[in-house]
């Protein structure tokens, strides 16, 4: 008798049908979000920075030139008579250097000794109003020139001190009115000066001192003569 074959369907609990097998999702490639700049952009930025620097320099020079021109125009308006000397070295286009009458010429500058007394602040304003500034002494030659001139004035009874453009906001911290750095090697103090005390923050040339080292710090509100200075007019 033929044997009967029985078929049975068997399923394994943990097995998954092949049809249900899914491949893992493919990872998306990382997108590069870094911005890309044109190669000429750094050069453009550098050029703009250079132009800004040039503009600042030109502005500074124009401001200083305008200030100088303003002083000279004021000096010209206040002076009706001028005294001129031959310029050295002689130049074809500019052969003379001129100062207002009653001013004195020395090394391309004009100097004025006042005949009235004022405080230091009023002296500063007075010189500015004439198109000049309180004198700024930069060399020994300039100091000797001024001291000699003051001694000559003593003969005419003008015995008083002369304010110069040196003062201090803090004790011992000296500054010139035109922002010229104070040079201790070109300072001409009297022996024992400056006193460097709180109530003496302005400087005069002392008329009694026989030598040329004659600066003295005094209270700013003590009325004194003054020395004004301006660049000579070149014509």
Mean pLDDT along residues 65-81: 63
Reply yes or no on whether the pLDDT at 87 is more than 80. no
User: Which residue has better confidence, 143 or 91?
Assistant: 143
The reported pLDDT for the residue numbered 49 is 87
* pLDDT tens readout for residues 151-200: 888 776 677 899 999 999 999 999 999 999 999 999 999 999 999 999 99
Reply yes or no on whether the pLDDT at 48 is more than 90. no
Range of lowest pLDDT (32-36, 52-56, 71-75, 208-212): 32-36
CATH dotted code for 111-229: 3.10.100.10
Categorize the per-residue pLDDT at 211 as very low, low, confident or very high, splitting at 50, 70 and 90.
confident
The reported pLDDT for the residue numbered 104 is 95
Share of the chain above pLDDT 70, in %: 74
The reported pLDDT for the residue numbered 66 is 46
Q: Where are the domains of the chain?
A: 111-229
Reply yes or no on whether the pLDDT at 55 is more than 90. no
Reply yes or no on whether the pLDDT at 208 is more than 70. yes
User: Which residue has better confidence, 73 or 11?
Assistant: 73
Reply yes or no on whether the pLDDT at 61 is more than 60. no
- The tokens describing 81, both together, are 């008579």
User: Which residue has better confidence, 142 or 63?
Assistant: 142
């Amino acid at each position: 008798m033929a044997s009967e074959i029985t078929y049975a369907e068997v399923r394994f609990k943990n097995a998954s049908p092949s049809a249900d097998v899914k491949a893992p999702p493919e990872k998306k490639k990382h997108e590069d979000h870094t911005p890309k700049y044109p190669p000429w952009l750094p050069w453009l930025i550098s050029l703009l920075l250079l132009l800004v620097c040039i503009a600042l320099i030109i502005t500074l020079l124009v401001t200083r030139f305008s200030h100088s021109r303003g002083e000279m125009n004021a000096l010209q308006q206040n002076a009706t008579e001028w005294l001129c000397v031959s310029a050295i070295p002689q130049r074809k286009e500019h052969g003379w250097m001129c100062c207002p009458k009653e001013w004195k010429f020395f090394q391309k500058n004009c100097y004025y000794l006042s005949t009235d007394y004022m405080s230091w602040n009023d002296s500063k304003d007075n010189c500015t109003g004439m198109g000049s500034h309180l004198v700024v002494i930069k060399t020994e030659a300039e100091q000797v020139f001024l001291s000699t001139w003051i001694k000559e004035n003593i003969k005419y009874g003008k015995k008083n001190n002369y304010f110069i453009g040196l003062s201090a906001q803090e004790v011992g911290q000296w500054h010139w009115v035109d922002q010229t750095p104070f040079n201790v090697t070109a300072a001409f103090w009297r022996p024992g000066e400056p006193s460097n005390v709180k109530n003496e923050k302005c400087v005069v040339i002392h008329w009694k001192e026989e030598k040329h080292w004659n600066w003295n710090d005094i209270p700013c509100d003590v009325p004194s003569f003054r020395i004004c200075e301006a660049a000579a007019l070149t014509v």
